[in-house]
Amino acid sequence: MSKPITILIPKVCPICKVNFIATSRNKVKKYCAPYCQIKGLVGFKHSEEARKNMSKGKLGKKKPPRSAEHRANLSKAHKGRIVSLETRLKMSISQKGRTATEETRAKMRISQAREKNPAWKGGVSNTNLRWRSGGEYKRWMRAVKKRDGKCLVCGSTNNLEAHHIKSFNEYPELRFVVKNGFTMCYEHHIEFHKKYGNKNNRQQLNAFIKHISARD
């Protein structure tokens, strides 16, 4: 029995304008490579009739929920996987121009809310944010900076911030006491918290001032 004859069909990619060869087996091929195909489909919309046909075809065909074992296996398979820059670019292009409906956005918010979010810490961040964005906290900051007028570490008058001598979280009764405030410039405030974290006290502050004085 003779083999079927393969016919070569010259074509031009509509995206990159490169000449390529399609065969009689894939004569409907329009793009030279998957990358151009993804780029060519950006903004593509199916007709209303096509959408209805696809919807009818999927009607009643719901995928069964994944078991815990299946999810664990998927997690193991993807652990440590590094997505190449080219793949990330393709993913970005394929998502360009897509907008989620309000209903989808609401579902996404619910799926990542509170305990379902891996970064959830029991509401501590929300409580701190409420306190720190309130009027009392802002008045406290202004009072501390007005009293000192400069960074008490280096003497700078630029980018001043109010620092809690005894930490905001550990001593809630001292949060808005002006005597518990200490003015620092942005740079030294960041450096202090990088060195000592957020559980602070007067001894740490004295050691930090001594360290900066000796260094500079």
Is 153 in contact with 188 (CB distance < 8 Å)?
Answer: yes
Band of residue 3 on the pLDDT scale cut at 50, 70, 90: low
Residue 83 CA to residue 104 CA, distance in Å, equals 26
Q: Answer whether residue 149 shows pLDDT above 90.
A: yes
Amino acid 22 reads A
Domain locations along the chain: 1-41, 135-215
Sign of CA dihedral 183, 188, 192, 194: positive
184 phi and psi angles, rounded to 5 deg:
-135, 155
Tens of pLDDT, residue by residue over 184-207, are 999 999 999 999 998 899 999 999
Query: Token digits for 11?
Result: 């074509």
Q: 3-class DSSP state for residue 150?
A: coil
Q: Which residues contact 179 (CB under 8 A, 6 or more apart)?
A: none
Q: What percent of the chain has pLDDT over 70?
A: 94
In this structure, the strands spanning 19-23 and 8-12 are antiparallel
Q: Answer whether residue 151 shows pLDDT above 60.
A: yes
For the chain, the average pLDDT equals: 86
Q: What percent of the chain has pLDDT over 90?
A: 31
Q: Answer whether residue 183 shows pLDDT above 90.
A: yes
Q: 3-class DSSP state for residue 14?
A: coil
Residue 175 CA to residue 170 CA, distance in Å, equals 9
User: Of 111-115, 120-124, 129-133, which has the strongest mean pLDDT?
Assistant: 111-115
Tens of pLDDT, residue by residue over 42-69, are 777 888 898 888 888 888 777 788 888 9
